[in-house]
Amino acid sequence: MAKFKTDIQDISFNLFKDLKVHEHSNELGENDLKDIIVQFDKFAENEVYSCRTIGDEEGVRLTEDKGVVVPPSFVEATKKYYENGWFALGYPEEIGGMPAPHSVSFACTSIYVGANVALSMYSGLSQGAMNVILQVGSQEQKDKFVPPMMEGRWGGTMCLTEPGAGSDVGAAKTTATPNDDGSYDIKGVKIFISSGESDIYDNNIHLVLARTPGSEEGTKGLSLFIVPRFVINDDGTSGASNSVKCTKIEEKMGIHGQATCELTFGGEGACKGWLIGKEHEGMANMFIMMNEARLLCGIQGESQANLAYELTVQYAKERSQFKSEIVHLPDVKRMLLKMRAMSRGMRSLILYTANLFDLEKKGDEHAEKELALLTPVCKAYSTDEAFQVAVDAIQVHGGYGYCSEYGIEQFARDIKIATIYEGTNGIQAMDFVMRKILKDKGEAFNALGAKIQETLKSPVCAQWKNECASLMTSMQKAQTILEGYGKSAASKDFNSILASATDFLTYCGNLIVAWRLLRGAIVASEELAAGNSSEKEYLESKIVDFKVFCQHYLTRNSAIAQSILNFDQDLMKLEL
């Protein structure tokens, strides 16, 4: 059976040769940052990946006496994750963190998630909830909740979705009635709550969207509340129940080791919560966590696609048929090359986006807008394409891939949910076109386009004329599509825009990933020209990745552009 393997060489190439992220680190040098990634990779192999399959088989149980019980190996692995200081990576020292560039902590997160996505979500949701408290919580709330969350004693969640409301968050009915002591009585039901309850943590700190008395309809009337599972005693320990109860565990296609819960607040007595941030600013505050969760979804796709490729190429080099290893069969090699190009391309996109956090902190005024522009692309494109990589991994494995013996079919089951939660990929496409492009009249999109055009001016590009010409054509067609969108928006014909928004996001994903792989090919070519023979095989593979991606993925843009520009997009006229 294939062994766990992370392409550390490719991660290092992206971070240190292309993005040069060590220049953002005041505390740690390049070698220190590389060592962090290598050490985390060892931890992921030994403690995280080792319980991936067993966690999938054992799943999660809802018990009368203990509540939600997760696989015991998950409890132990998470404990070691905190004890080894990995949760603290990227946080400031004043709260017990270990400072590092966002891109480096994202690289470690990618390894963590790829090794065991169901396990990683427990600490991942806690991190998201804690970040909201750090950004908009009062000093009292920070002092009360952050230390035990940093230590791993308390976990965190985000509670938006309700029965019947689905993606329509503004239809939420959960109520928050004020008390004389400054608390609120929370009453309602939330569904599909990832990490909603578990025996990993002593207490679960829920961030709950609820409606105060007299609030207007829709999202503008929602406020955000901190709601602990257990009452917190004066000495900081967890006490009696706060009437937050898991009333159902969802039986799912994948991520079986993840506790996806229905939570009932105030169903068996008073459930107290405390307002975080200002009243009626719940959605804005929750989006601090939502945007991080959407990037995490992108990582869920990218990371699992990369591991699926690594396991699959090992299998193809060992599996013999027709008197040869199957890696030598043209159709299998085609699939493997496509898998590698797409997986590495997604990695480059994710790490580039992560680096924008550091550039923003350094004062780059364009980084924030570009980060907002790329977030829906990272989420939707990476998860859609990663699912197809997983399908190809199954295909290369043949019958063994369809069976559970090699653990390959689990990738397809675990990846699929990332296209659905934290805002479906259709919602991401709507956000991308309507809010991230048309709302600011294409400012951020055009700025990114200028970066792509600048890259295409490199003298090295002359050796890839067809590929670069295809990239330039895609750039030009994108502008034509946006001009059409602008005319439709001016005439209030939004249905025709929304009908092709998903296609256009895919189009832009192909374009941006091709650009990122071109950047990699240019850097690799320069390294080869400088006489870097120690990495010759790898550097040549970076050029191959760009060429393969252009041939098999960027060429799709021609058909997408034709579909958007030459056909009627008003689907509302068509009958089902």
3-state helix, strand, coil in the chain (%, to 5): 60, 10, 25
- Give a three-class secondary structure readout of 200-260: CCCEEEEEEEEECCCCCCCHHHEEEEEEECEEECCCCCEEEECCEEEEEECCCCCCCCCCE
Residue identified by tokens 């009437």 is 243
> Which residue type sits at 224?
L
Q: In sequence order, what are the residues at sequence separation of 6 or more whose Cβ sits closer than 8 angstroms to the Cβ of residue 420?
A: none
Packed helices 367-397 and 330-361: angle between N→C axes, nearest 10 degrees: 160
Burial class (CB in 10 A: 0-12, 13-18, 19+), 297: buried
- Long-range contacts of range 168-171, CB-CB < 8 Å, 24 or more positions apart? 169/209, 169/219, 169/222, 169/283, 170/217, 170/218, 170/219, 170/220, 170/221, 170/222
| Cα four-point dihedral sign 348, 351, 354, 358 | negative
398: left (phi over 0), alpha (psi -120 to 50) or beta: left
| Cα–Cα separations (whole angstroms), residue 265 to 223, 269, 272 | 16, 9, 9
Judge whether 281 counts as a catalytic residue. no
d(CA 468, CA 174): 53
Of 47, 370, 422, 467, the active-site residue reads 422
Say how far residue 493 (Cα) sits from the centre of its chain.
32
Q: Which one, of 124, 103, 100, lies nearest residue 194 by Cα?
A: 124
Interstrand relation of 230-232 and 67-69 (parallel, antiparallel or unpaired): unpaired
Please say whether the dihedral angle defined by the alpha carbons of residues 172, 174, 179 and 183, taken in this order, is positive or negative.
Answer: negative
282 and 184 Cβ atoms separated by less than 8 Å: no
Nearest to 103 by CA among 4, 37, 6: 37
Instruction: Write the single-letter amino acid at 406.
Output: Y
The candidate with the shortest Cα–Cα distance to 501, out of 411, 388, 380, is 380
H or E segment to which residue 325 belongs = strand 324-325
DSSP 420: T
Place of tokens 């790490």: 351
The number of beta carbons lying within 10 Å of the beta carbon of residue 362 is 10
| 191 vs 340: CA distance, rounded Å | 37
Residue whose tokens read 């406020």: 223
Catalytic residue set: 422
